[in-house]
Amino acid sequence: FGGYTFTYATWNAGTSTWSADQTKVVANSTNPNNIFNYFSLETDAAVTAEPASADWDLIFTKFTTDYPMGGTTTKYQVTGALHHPDVKVAKNVEPGGVMNTANLTFASAINTIGYDWKTFTGSTYTIDGSKAYYVKQANGTVYRVVFTSFVGSSTGVITFNYQDVTNALGTVSFEDKIAFGIYPNPSLDKKINLIYDSKENMDANSKVSIYSMTGAKVFETAIETAQGFYNRELDLSALGTGIYILNLESGSSTITKKVILK
């Protein structure tokens, strides 16, 4: 699975005719520093339409979600925040805006922050100041984010405060405790070996979770937690070809790597 092949034609309104079919191939290696590849039908060439993967954590945008309406849910376009696949976020209710990190649970779904930190009152938006979001980067750094205002669709301006709370949480980089790799990657038969060397005993509930690029969890399995060296084969033949995010999770610590299945 080296890329995508597609065919398109353009419509000429003046002559009411279609152009000859154009067949293009976009290799997976076209934008190695980005999550997705893009192709412009205007310039007839591959383009870069997003920042390098290492340069962003959050994106503020419109997206479609299951929105509660009339006792059920419907697909609806909202404005909010999505996070990078390598980032994890914990939502927390903190009355009075006082930081409380006793029971944080970090999630990988990219819409964990989402849109519901604001409420539309009919003419303006109010912000729930008791909602805090803890954004944990792949290197273990954690930021506390609290939204302060949303102007609305007229400008789309969102404001928020943030602070580095890594030291307050006592977060230690997981990479200091464990050496971790995946082989082969890419995998031609959708089987990979999870190779890790733990310098100390890990959390009893340590696991490996795999997510699609849309944030959906597609695989999960428990792993050995005692100190030592391990080589564990994972059969991912039930998954489709493509790029996935693999998290090795132990307590509040996570190592994230990309996995390519062909």
How many other C-beta atoms are found inside a 10 Å radius of the C-beta of residue 133?
22
- For strand 142-150 and strand 158-164, is the pairing parallel, antiparallel, or unpaired? antiparallel
How much of the chain exceeds pLDDT 70, in percent? 97
Of 149 and 166, more confident: 149
pLDDT of residue 170: 60
Q: Report helix, strand or coil for 260.
A: strand
pLDDT of residue 185: 87
pLDDT of 177 > 80? The answer is no
Task: Quick: pLDDT tens for 196-209.
Answer: 888 788 778 889 99
At residue 204, what is the residue type? A
- Rounded to 5°, angle at Cα 81 from 79 and 83: 150
Domains observed in the chain: 3-52 (no CATH), 56-169 (no CATH), 174-261 (2.60.40.3080)
Summarised one tens digit per residue, pLDDT across range 78-90 is 999 999 998 999 9
Considering only residues 13 and 203, tell me which one the structure prediction assigns the higher pLDDT: 13
The span from the CA of 236 to the CA of 224, in Å, is 19
Block residue for tokens 């590849």: 37
Q: Give yes or no for residue 171 having a pLDDT over 60.
A: no
Length of the chain: 262
Contact 239/190 with Cβ under 8 angstroms? Answer: yes
What pLDDT sits at residue 79? 92
Helix H or strand E encompassing 94: none
